[in-house]
Structure 1
Amino acid sequence: MFIVLAGVLAIIGIVTAGYYFAVRPVALRIAVGPAGSDDLKVVHALSQAFVQAHSQIRLRPIPTEGATASAQMIAEGKADLAIVRGDLSVPKNVQAVATLRKNVAVLWVPPAMKGKKAGAKITKIAQLAGRRIGVIGRTPANVDLLKVILQQYGVDPNKVEVVQFPASEAADAIRNRKADAYLAAGPVNSKITSEAIAASTHDGKAPTFLPIDSAEAIAQNHPMYEASEIPAGAFGGSPDRPEDEVKTISFSHHIVARKDLSDTTVAAFTRQLFAIRQTVMSEFPLAAKIETPDTDKDAFIPVHPGAAAFVDGEEKTFLDRYSDFIWWGLMGLSAMGSIGAWFAGYLKKDERSNNSTLRERLLEMIATARRSDSAEELDQMQAEADNILRDTLQCFEHGAISEGALTSFNIALSQFHQAVADRKALLMITSQNLQRAGAALRVTGT
């Protein structure tokens, strides 16, 4: 009984510990940058929202210098999650969890200024050969993006002068005509892109947007890009900027996780991310752009199984995940109880065998008592029976004999006591008769 009880308590302890570890808050390190970027602000907002909602998953932002550094950090195992740029080299040890935002490439040419001699008007990408192109942002990824576009239109990137401007200096550079054309990459509603285009407007004339008509061909040759469109009036202003829809290419910023990160953990994070998104949107509208990952098998970045389970509605509950362990635990408990009972019986086999010998001795004493001619012998057997009774009761308390065996022993003990009582009564009567006979003989002889 004690072995089974110990087993039950052990199983309960294991299940309780398993449940605690399954539902306790898990802190995930997420690499994101650069400092001051919208991505980092959104991650900080998500982290605070998770804490306020007492969510199972907590985020620990790790600021980096940018998407490249974030990718390197998760590749080295220094982060659990990371915000990476889809058109950069994606580490092989990561899988997609969500799409943070989609970015579009915007190419435009400022209008000619009054009083200044203008060169040949640029209306097509092919006319950028020999020109100076300003790229907004210091990341080399934007320059690589420009090269991909130029090569698609047969423009040798080496015959184009590329000048990069920090986002904070882009507006001034555009007003001072530091380049003939400009490239920006970011969300359609990007504040940086909108301010740069606004700085290109002069005397009520909007810049000329250069469409990327071969966007589908670029996407075919470079799977990290997608054909996209910039809606008319996306950048505001009067007149509308742009006046008509403009074809372009897009790429995404992804939230990725290490492949070896638990499916359960990733599913919980994905569920919390989309549950809390509405709360964060009021402070950071960029959170509205968060989308579920591409779950197709041929996706450029394979989806993490945990995120796929959430998206497909196949996320497992606690019982789904651990029912097998609970079932096998109960089976193990049953087996352990059986083994414990057998082992306990095995340990008591000598005690049980000794008690069986004592019971046989008690049965022999019944026959001996019925033949005994001495009250002293009967008293000795009575004392021996008392000792046998004591040993039998101890065996029963120790579990060495069953209740049925104890009942059989009680029957035998009752028969013994009856035999002793009958024999003593007979001996007493015989003794009295002998005394009377002796007295009668003495009287007759006199």
Structure 2
Amino acid sequence: MANQSVVTETGLTEHDTRRRIFAIVGASSGNLVEWFDFYVYSFCALYFAPAFFPGGNTTTQLLNTAGVFAAGFLMRPIGGWFFGRLADKRGRRTAMMVSVFMMCGGSLVIAVLPTYAQIGVWAPALLLLARLFQGLSVGGEYGTSATYMSEVALQGRRGFFASFQYVTLIGGQLCALLVLVILQQLLTTEELKAWGWRIPFVVGAIAAVVALYLRKSLDETTSAATRQRKDAGTIGGLWRHKRAFLTVLGFTAGGSLIFYTFTTYMQKYLVNTAGMHAKTASNVMTAALFVYMLMQPLFGALSDRIGRRRSMILFGALATLGTVPLLHTLKDVTSPYAAFGLIVVALAIVSFYTSISGLIKAEMFPPEVRALGVGLSYALANAIFGGSAEYVALWLKSIGVETMFYWYVTALCAIACIVALKMRDPSKEGYLRDTP
């Protein structure tokens, strides 16, 4: 048996290294479940939209469900503040356990919710309430899990290990889409619209219970002294680092918008704009998201070599130049293989951002306000720009100017590029630099 006291290149014993890797796995599992539950709504919307919004054409129904999806994002800043404060004052593990418990409740409510035909306007109202509850939960999940995974990641390889936050975030999307693809093979369209769409929400609620159990065994990454500092988890303490806060807002706006454009909205875009069959679009997105998930550790490891700032500059520049051509080409695509290739190219560009998204934010804030700084800044930009992506795209399509959305995404990515050019490299100067 290997000696557990052997010190590795990172200065940690082999036992400590294994525990840190286990912590990454444990935190990641809960992260996957959180995002599975959240994205099941988006991917199943094609089937349950008529049950809650029976009036109008397909675009109108999807616009209504996208509005509820966006409303869930409006709760994210509150969740980012509440869970960020909780994580900084009571510990990362406590905050992560509470957030996954709340997500479980929201999924369970949607799974058993009566339709418009059964209870009238109460159906969409209760759907909105459940999504607001889930939005509060996932608003806290991002900041606390990103902070936790950044703190336990091994020095010199933080980009690689922290990238697993988005591996599981994308994995949650992928699992949600995969469950839908399986149901599409087993059930008819009529059965999916009648009751089949409820199954993924039940699966998500059960998986959340498992994630809650796994998170109970995680080690805490903050000390009691850090949690008891006067500024711990306070807005006043966070505002002492307002430059970092505003920097995160600047690049998260474009990053979130393009992320949701080429992931959750893309399935609807292929169906509603390119005219692709729903099953074909689901298959294309399943394959594309799988490749995207595998990209994250590669781009995370790349950031360890070239620096976070260079990765962000590459993201901003390539996204600014590539968004309009990619969306224009996808608009007229007929081959599912061509659609897959174009989407993978787009997601490769986005990977420069997503692979280090949580880490680059965590590196900018000290431990006493790190979870609050990461969670609140991300949630604000994500709620305004990421959560509204589908709604803005569908609204512009409904008034006949869909291509304006392409330029809207481009403009936000250009801002992200400018912010990246002006910021210092946090991997060299950030608060995590000297952490074991």
TM-score, L = length of structure 1: 0.20
Tell which has more relative contact order, 1 or 2 (C-alpha 8 A, sep 6+). 2
Q: Which has the higher strand share?
A: 1
Instruction: Report the structure number with the largest CA radius of gyration.
Output: 1
Q: TM-score, normalised by structure 2?
A: 0.20
Query: Which one has a larger percent helix, Structure 1 or Structure 2?
Result: 2
